[in-house]
Amino acid sequence: MRHTSYRQLWLVLRGEIAKQHHHHYHSCFVFFSLLVWPVFGFFTVYFSYKPFSLAKGTLCGIAGSQDLMIFLCAGYMAYNCFWAIVQSAWNMTWLERQSGTLEIAFLSPANRLAMMYGKALGALFEETWMFLCFCLFMLFWAHGFSLRLLILLPLVFFVLLISASIWGGLLNTVFLLSRDASMIYSMFEDTMVLLAGVRVPVGSFPPWAKAISLVFPLTYCINIIRALFMVSVSVNVWQNLGQLFVCLLFMIVATVLLLKRAEAVHRDRGELGLY
């Protein structure tokens, strides 16, 4: 049995996060993808809702334009974290295959799980902090400053950080398994926005769509955040936390199994350097 100390795990995690940071911040244009495009996307949806009556929105806890702002902020804040991970997993896998660094990293005895989660965490910190700041500002603006909000925010970030990292670890592993997994990128782009309830309440979906939405951990994260910030939303936080925990546990098990499979396949076929 291979033993890896916590110190070595931490070193690998830290190394991956630092590498992502140095790789990403090379020009000011990076702020467009960090802030400008997500904000455009957010306001596009917000102003698309504006001309319509929100009367029926009360069923989903949206009583007015301020509630709509909180509803969308919560959705976009969580979605931005999850989507950043999908993009990063795809970009980094492609880049690392092309540059040959993926194979060189696998030459080392570094813990593979730590490598996958390190890549996810690195992307999460790098790609979301600006938009998260924007969403926080909007939340305070719409919700008003309160002690309750200040206390809840660290909890929200903790849930988002853990969930998105585990999701990212799984995606990194899937992209590791196959260089042709790009369909996942396309598959999640719109599917996740729609079915996880980023723009539209999941409660308004037909039963089959509601069933699919349960697959995404993003759905539970959004539900939890909305329940915490929108008093009128009737969502059971603990139930969603429980469901999220089961979903994440399943993803961790899947990541471990797929990672073993991916390394076995690459040791057999030597495809880590192919792109």
Partner 1 sequence: MIRMLAAVVSPSSGSLIIDGVDAVARHFQVKSKLNMISGGERNLYWRLTAVENLRYFGSLYGLSGPLLKERIRTLLAMTGLTEAANTPVERYSKGMKQRLQIARGLINDPAYLFLDEPTLGLDMLIAKEMRGYIAALAEDQDKGILLTTHHISEAEELCDYIYVIDQGRIIAKGSKEELKGLFGYRQSLLLSVAALPAECEAELNRAMLAKETDMTLMADRRQINLLGNSTVWAEAFAILSRHEVQITDIRNKEPDLEEVLVAIIKDFRSAQQMR
Residue numbers of the site for partner 1 (CB under 8 A)? 2, 5, 7-8, 11-12, 14-16, 18-19, 22-23, 26, 99-101, 103-110, 115, 266-270, 272
Closer residue to partner 1 (CB): 110 or 258 = 110
Closer residue to partner 1 (CB): 19 or 210 = 19
Question: Residue 106 CB, nearest distance to partner 1 (Å)?
Answer: 6
User: Which amino acid makes up residue 268?
Assistant: D
In order of 72, 172, 202, the CA distances from 222 in angstroms are 10, 22, 10
Closer residue to partner 1 (CB): 55 or 107 = 107
Length of the chain in terms of residues written: 275
Angle at the Cα of 234 from the Cα atoms of 233 and 240, rounded to 5 degrees: 105
- φ, ψ for residue 55, nearest 5 deg: -55, -45
- φ, ψ for residue 54, nearest 5 deg: -100, 15
Closer residue to partner 1 (CB): 10 or 158 = 10
Collapsing DSSP to helix, strand or coil, 271 comes out as: coil
Question: Residue 210 CB, nearest distance to partner 1 (Å)?
Answer: 43
Q: What is the DSSP string of 102-166?
A: HHHHHHS---HHHHHHHHHHHHHHHHHHHHHHHHHHHHHHHH---HHHHHHHHHHHHHHHHHHHH
Question: Residue 137 CB, nearest distance to partner 1 (Å)?
Answer: 31
Question: Residue 174 CB, nearest distance to partner 1 (Å)?
Answer: 21
Closer residue to partner 1 (CB): 22 or 148 = 22
Question: Residue 272 CB, nearest distance to partner 1 (Å)?
Answer: 7
